Structure 1
Amino acid sequence: MGTEEMSKPWKMVLFCSLTIVTTANIVCMNLSRTVQPGTDKSSLYYSSTSVFCAELTKIALSTSLLMFELRSFSRLKDVLRNEILMQWRETIKLSVPAIVYVIQNNLSFFALGNLDPATYQVTYQLKLLTTALVMRVLLGKILSNKQWGALFVLLIGVCLVEVEKIVPVASDVSAHAHATGLKAQRGEDRESSRALESANASFAIISGIMATIGMTFCSAFAGVYFEKMVRSQPNKNRSNGLSELSLLWIKNIQLYIFSCVSALGACWLNDGANIAQNGFFHGYNTLTVVVVLIGSAGGTATALMLKYLDNIYKNFASSMSLVLASICSFLLTGQLYGPKFFLGSFLVCFSLFIYQSASTTAAAKSRTTSDQAQISPKGSTSLPIYTPNNITKA
C-alpha cells in the first residue's frame, strides 16, 4: 500500500491510534513512577533500563511484523542478512537519528539544570514550528499561511496546557530556591551577592533556553530524517520483491539497533552503579512491563504515521495526547485544572481542524491542477513549441 494509496478513513484511524497509544504511555509511565505509600524513590525501576527494554521490544515487534509480511522464516533470514549486513551502508544511514537523539538527551539534562520546568516545557514546544522548518529544508514541504497559522495556534494551546500543569510545581521550586539563596546570603555583602547572582541567573537562563531550542531542532531533524528514509523507495529493493511495509519494518529494525546501543550506553552512564548493585530489573512489576510494551507499540505506530502521514501530524497526535492524558489524570487522581487548561485544550483541537481543512483544500487544488494539465485543449501546450533555431524553410 503506497503512501498515496491509504484512504482518508485509514489515515484517521492511524492518527487516532497513535494518539491513544501515546496517551496510554504517558498515563502508565506517570503511574509507574509514582512512589507508593510506605516506599521511597529507591524502590522505583531505573528509567534508562525501561528505555533499553522498549527498544529491544521494538526490534522484536518489527521482526515479527516483517515475518508476517514474508511468511517464511528462511526468507526472513535472507532478507535481514541482505538488507542489514550486506547493505551495511544503508544501515549506517539510520545511525544518524540515534546519534541526534543522544545529543538531544544531553541537551535536555543541561537545559533542565538551568531552567525551571515551566520555562523548559514552554520553550520545548517550539519543536512544533522547527519541525515544519526542517521539513521545508529536507523534504521540500511548503505550508500555506493557514497551515502556519494552525501551527501557531497549536503552539499557544500546548503552552497553556503545559503551564497549567507545571506552574504550581515551578512556584514551589522557585520559593525553595529563593529561601536557600537568602540563607546563603547571611553575613555577606548583599549588594555584590545580588549582582553576581543576577548575572549568573541570566547566563543560566539564556544558556538553558539555547539548549532547549537546540533540542527542538534535534527532535525535528531526527524525525524528519527518519521520515525521509522510510518514504524513500530504492529500485534495488523493489527488485527483491519486498512490499512497502516490509521495507518499513526493515528501516525500523535498522534504527532500533542503533537506538539499543545508545540506550545501553545511557544505562551505563546514568544508572551503572545502581544497576551493578541492585540488578538490571530492579523495581520492575506488571505496570513496568506494560510501559515497555506500550512504548514499543508507540514506536510502530510512529513509523506508520511517518510513512503514510508526516511529522506534523505526529506532533498533532502528541499534543492531543497531552490533553487526553491530563483528563485521565483527573479521572484517576482527581487533579483539578484551571481555565488555562480548558482554553489550551480547545486551541489544540481547533488548530487540528484548521490544519486539516487547509490540507484538504491544498490537496483538492493540487488534483484540479493535475487534471487540467492532463486534459489540455487543441492548440494548447500539448503542441510542441518551436524556436527560431528549429524552423526549417520550405
Structure 2
Amino acid sequence: MKTESLSKFWKLALFCSLTIVTTANIVCVNFSRIVFPGDSSASLYYPSTSVFCNELAKIILSCVLLLYEVKSCSRLMSVLKTEVFEKWSSTLKMAVPAIVYVIQNNLSFFALGNLDPATYQVTYQLKLLTTALVMRLLLGKILTSKQWGALFVLLIGVCLVEIEKLAPQDMTAVSRQMLQTASANKKDDSVIGEERSYDSPAGSSVNVLAGIAATIGMTFCSAFAGVYFEKMVRSSPASSSGGKGLQQGAIKLSELGELWVKNIQLYLFSCISALAACLLHDGDKIAENGFFHGYNSLTVVVVLIGSAGGTATALMLKYLDNIYKNFASSMSLVLASFCSFCLTGQLYGPKFFLGSFLVCLSLFIYQSTQKTLTNKTTVGSNSANRQRNLPLPMYMPKEVISKVMEQNDVSKA
C-alpha cells in the first residue's frame, strides 16, 4: 500500500498520536528520574534495564498485534518461525539499524564528555537536516526550496527551545541527568558506555572539536538508522523475501502484518544490544541489587509508553516519513515543556515562546508546500491521462520499416 492510500484524517491522527505518546514518554521519564527528599540517587532504577524492558515490551506488543492479524496462536508461531528464523537473511537486514544505534549511543557518551549540554543539544538538532540528506540518498526524496526553508525554521525553533530549557539550570547537573536518562529517552537505542559527568575542557579546542564531530556523527547515525528502517518497512515482501512474499502455507499477511514482523526482527536485535548494555554498564549493580531495582508503577508506565511509541513510530515511517517523525518529536519537546510548567511551575523566557512559534510555523510551511506539490501532481497526472486518449503517432523501428517496404516491393513485382 502506498502512503496515499491512507486518508488525510488517519495521517493526522497518526501524527498527533506519535506527538502525544512522545510527549508522555518525555514527561514520565523525567519524573521517574527525580530524587525526592529523603531518598538517594541509589534508589533509582537503572536506565539500561528499562531500555531492555522497553525493547522486550515492543516485541510483545508486536506479537499481540500479529496475533490479531493471524487469529491463531499456532499460526503466529508458524509465521514467526518462518519469517524470523528460517528467512534469516531478511532478519539480518534489520540488524543494521540496531548496530548503528549502538554506535550512536557510544558517540553520545563521548560527545557529552567533551561538550557542554547546550552545545551538544544545539549541534544534535542538525539531525533535522541530515535526515533529509540521507532520505535524498537512500530514498530519492527531493525537497523544494520552501521545504528546506521550513526545516531550517524548525532547526532554529528547536534550538531556541532547548537553549531556554537548559539556561536556568546548572550545566554539570544537567549533563549528569542527560547521561542517566539518555537510554530511556531513545526510541530504539541501546546505550553501551560509562557514565561521565561534564568537565570543562579548559579551553581545549581539540576536545570541543572532537565533541562536535562526534555529535555530527550521531546525527548521521540517527538519520541513517531511521531512513534505513523506513526503506525496509516500505519495501514489498517480494523484494525483501526473495520473491516468496511474507506468508506461511495458506497464510498471507497484510501490510500491517508485514510491519509487525519487521518490528519483531528489529527489536530482537535491539533486545540483544540492550542486554549487553545491562551487563557492561550496570552488571555489578544488577548482581548486587537485582535487575528490577528501583522499579515502581511509574517505571512500568515508562516501559509501556515506550513500547507504544515504538509502534507509533513504525506506523509513522510506513505511512508518512522520517521528516514528519522529526516534526512530531519537535512538537513533543514544546508540549512536554508546557506540561512541565503545569506540573512544576517552571517558567520559560521569550526564547522558548519564540522557538515554539517557529516550530509550529515550520510545520505549517512544510505542510502547505506538500499540499501544493500534491495538487500539481494531480493536475499533471490528469493532463497525462488526457494525452493518452489522443491518437498517438505511429512509430516503428527502421528494421521493421525496411522489411515492410521490401514486402511491398515483392508484392508489386
In structure 1, the residue matched to 2:229 is 226
Offset from partner CA, 1:328-353 (integer Å, 9 cap, x none): 00000010000000000000000000
The CA distance in 1 between the partners of 2:383 and 2:227, in whole Å, is 32
In structure 1, the residue matched to 2:245 is 237
Output the TM-score relative to the length of structure 2: 0.86
Whether the aligned pair in 1 keeps the contact of 2:46 and 2:294 (CA below 8 Å) is: yes
List gaps (5 residues or longer) in structure 2.
175-200, 239-243, 409-413
In structure 2, the residue matched to 1:17 is 17
Flag the 1:5–1:87 CA change in 2: closer, same or farther, 3 A: same
In structure 2, the residue matched to 1:186 is none
Cα root mean square deviation, aligned = 1.7
Output the TM-score relative to the length of structure 1: 0.91
Whether the aligned pair in 1 keeps the contact of 2:83 and 2:246 (CA below 8 Å) is: no
Flag the 1:220–1:384 CA change in 2: closer, same or farther, 3 A: farther
The CA distance in 2 between the partners of 1:391 and 1:162, in whole Å, is 70
In structure 1, the residue matched to 2:49 is 49
Whether the aligned pair in 2 keeps the contact of 1:14 and 1:305 (CA below 8 Å) is: yes
Matched AA of 1:75? R
Flag the 1:378–1:51 CA change in 2: closer, same or farther, 3 A: closer
Offset from partner CA, 1:309-342 (integer Å, 9 cap, x none): 0000000000000000000000000100000000
Offset from partner CA, 1:204-225 (integer Å, 9 cap, x none): 1000000000000000000000
Q: CA deviation at 1:168?
A: 2.7
Q: CA deviation at 1:365?
A: 1.2
Offset from partner CA, 1:356-382 (integer Å, 9 cap, x none): 1111111121122122222216666x4
Flag the 1:289–1:173 CA change in 2: closer, same or farther, 3 A: closer
Matched AA of 1:233? S
Q: CA deviation at 1:2?
A: 4.6
Match of 1:39, SS state, is coil
Q: CA deviation at 1:170?
A: 5.3
Q: CA deviation at 1:384?
A: 4.2
The CA distance in 2 between the partners of 1:128 and 1:170, in whole Å, is 27
In structure 2, the residue matched to 1:97 is 97
The CA distance in 1 between the partners of 2:39 and 2:31, in whole Å, is 14
Q: CA deviation at 1:162?
A: 0.1
Equivalent residues in 2 for 1:363-374 (5 A)? 363-374=374-385
In structure 1, the residue matched to 2:187 is none
Work out which of the residue numbers 270, 273, 279 in structure 2 matches 1:268.
Answer: 279
- Structure 1: which 4+ aligned runs deviate by more than 6 Å? none
Q: CA deviation at 1:234?
A: 2.2
Q: CA deviation at 1:77?
A: 1.1
In structure 2, the residue matched to 1:192 is none
Flag the 1:378–1:128 CA change in 2: closer, same or farther, 3 A: closer
**Higher mean C-alpha displacement, 148-157 vs 268-277:** 268-277
Whether the aligned pair in 2 keeps the contact of 1:117 and 1:170 (CA below 8 Å) is: no
Aligned residues: 370
In structure 1, the residue matched to 2:182 is none
Q: CA deviation at 1:172?
A: 6.8
Equivalent residues in 2 for 1:1-394 (5 A)? 2-169=2-169, 197-198=202-203, 201-235=204-238, 236-237=244-245, 241-376=252-387, 382-386=392-396, 388=398, 390-392=400-402, 393=405
Offset from partner CA, 1:208-250 (integer Å, 9 cap, x none): 0000000000000000000000000123226652100000000
**Higher mean C-alpha displacement, 339-348 vs 357-366:** 357-366
The CA distance in 2 between the partners of 1:85 and 1:271, in whole Å, is 30
The CA distance in 2 between the partners of 1:390 and 1:337, in whole Å, is 77
Matched AA of 1:391? I
The CA distance in 1 between the partners of 2:395 and 2:94, in whole Å, is 46
Matched AA of 2:77? K
Offset from partner CA, 1:154-180 (integer Å, 9 cap, x none): 000000000000123356779xxxxxx
**Higher mean C-alpha displacement, 237-246 vs 92-101:** 237-246
The CA distance in 2 between the partners of 1:207 and 1:51, in whole Å, is 28
Offset from partner CA, 1:5-59 (integer Å, 9 cap, x none): 1000100000000000000000000000000111111110001100100100000
Whether the aligned pair in 1 keeps the contact of 2:25 and 2:302 (CA below 8 Å) is: yes
Work out the percentage of aligned pairs sharing the same amino acid: 69
The CA distance in 2 between the partners of 1:365 and 1:326, in whole Å, is 38
Higher relative contact order (CA 8 A, sep 6+): 1
Match of 1:376, SS state, is helix
Match of 1:155, SS state, is helix
In structure 2, the residue matched to 1:179 is none
Whether the aligned pair in 1 keeps the contact of 2:154 and 2:358 (CA below 8 Å) is: yes
The CA distance in 2 between the partners of 1:154 and 1:346, in whole Å, is 10
Whether the aligned pair in 2 keeps the contact of 1:2 and 1:244 (CA below 8 Å) is: no
The CA distance in 2 between the partners of 1:172 and 1:304, in whole Å, is 37
The CA distance in 1 between the partners of 2:12 and 2:202, in whole Å, is 52
The CA distance in 1 between the partners of 2:394 and 2:86, in whole Å, is 48
Q: CA deviation at 1:72?
A: 1.4
Whether the aligned pair in 1 keeps the contact of 2:237 and 2:245 (CA below 8 Å) is: yes
